[in-house]
Amino acid sequence: MRCLFIQSGTTSQQWSSRVSALFPRHRMILRTAAVCAAVTAAALGPVSGAFAAGSGKGGGPTLDDILRCTVSEKVYSVVPIEGAYVEIINRPMPKNGPMGPEAVLKDKDGNLLFGGVAYNRPVNEKAGLKLTNLESGRAQLWQRRPAGGVAFEHTHDFPALPKGCPVRWEAQDEGTYVRSVNLADGSSIAKVYRMGPGQYRAEGFFDDGQSFGSIDATPAEPYVAGNLNGMITALSSKGEVASWFAKARPTGPHNETLADGKTVVQVTELGDQHYRAVLSDKDGRTLGTMEVEGEKKSSAAIKVGSLWAVLETDGGVTSYVGR
C-alpha cells in the first residue's frame, strides 16, 4: 500500500496526492489517508513532510480544498459477480496524476476488481468501464460485461461537484527542470526544479510515471522532507536531495546518536505533538535546532555537513549520511 506524502510548513499543507483507489498498487483515496497514516505511524512514526502537487504556498489546492471538492457514490455494476459495484469519485481535474474523476470496480467486500478508470486512463477493457464527458465537471460512466464484441452503454452520470469547486485546478508554476534523482526504494524518482533564487521543488514519481506530489525548499525554510510509507525524501534550498528509509527509533523526549555516529540529538517535549530537537557535536557545541508543532508544522528537517535529520510530531528523529 502506498500512502499520502505531505509537506509540512508554517501552515498545514498537502500535496495534491495521487494516492488512488484506481489500481491494485494504489488502492487508497484521499478520504482514507488517515488510515494509512495510522498504519505507518505504528511502525515508523507519523507520516509527515510530503510531496504535494498543490500547497498553500504554490497556489494549488490544499488538503481541505481537495477533501471539500471530492464526492463519491456507489452504483450498480453490470459485471456478473454477486455484490459487485462501481464506486464513482468526482473531483476537479488535476495538472497531472490520476486525480480527477475516476471509477473503480469492487466486490461486495470493497476489494478492487480488475482496476478502474480515470481521466488519464478513461478505458479499462478488463473491468468493462469507460469514462466520457470528462471536461464538463460531470463525467459519464459507461459499462459493459468484460467480454469482446459487447458495446459499452451509458449507465450513470457522476455526482455534481460541490458548489464553489472548479472543474480543473489551477496549474502551478513548473519552474526550470534541473535533474532527476533516484529515490531509496529503487524505482521512484524525484524531478528537481529551480523555482527561483534559493527555491527548489522536488516532485516524486512512481515507476509507472505518475506523480505523488512535491516538496518545496525556500530561503525561509531551507530544508524540507517528506515521508512515504517510511521512505524519507529531503530537499534543500540549494537543490540537494537525499532519500532513505527510516528505521524504528525512539520517540518522545530522549537523547540519541545520529547516523554519522558522532552527532547527538536531544529531543524535549514542549506540548502535545510539540517537540524541539537540538543537535550537538561531541564537545556539546550546538549544530542546529528543529521544532515541530502538530498540524502547524508536522515535520522539520536540517542538514549539517553530510548529515540529514528529520524530526516528526511523535518526537522521533530519523537521520542519514549523504554521499
Alpha helices by DSSP H, listed for 259-301, are none
- The whole-number pLDDT of residue 191 equals 92
Q: Is the pTM of this model over 0.95?
A: no
- The whole-number pLDDT of residue 95 equals 63
pLDDT, the chain, mean: 80
The angle formed by the CA atoms of residues 97, 101 and 107, to the nearest 5 degrees, is: 100
228-286 tens-digit pLDDT: 888 999 999 999 999 999 998 899 999 999 999 999 999 999 999 999 999 999 999 99
- The whole-number pLDDT of residue 14 equals 31
Give the mean model confidence (pLDDT) for residues 83-88.
Answer: 95
User: What count of residues does the chain have?
Assistant: 323
The confidence band for 148, taking pLDDT boundaries of 50, 70 and 90, is low
- The whole-number pLDDT of residue 16 equals 29
26-72 tens-digit pLDDT: 323 222 233 333 333 333 344 333 454 333 334 456 667 778 889 99
Q: Which of 16, 20, 23 is nearest to 214 (CA)?
A: 16
Residue 23 has pLDDT above 80, yes or no: no
Alpha helices by DSSP H, listed for the chain, are 33-44, 63-68
Cα gap 213→307, rounded to integer Å:
25
- The whole-number pLDDT of residue 71 equals 94
- Looking at the chain, the whole-number percentage of residues with pLDDT higher than 70 is 76
Pair 233, 212: CB distance under 8 Å: no
Three-state SS at 245: strand
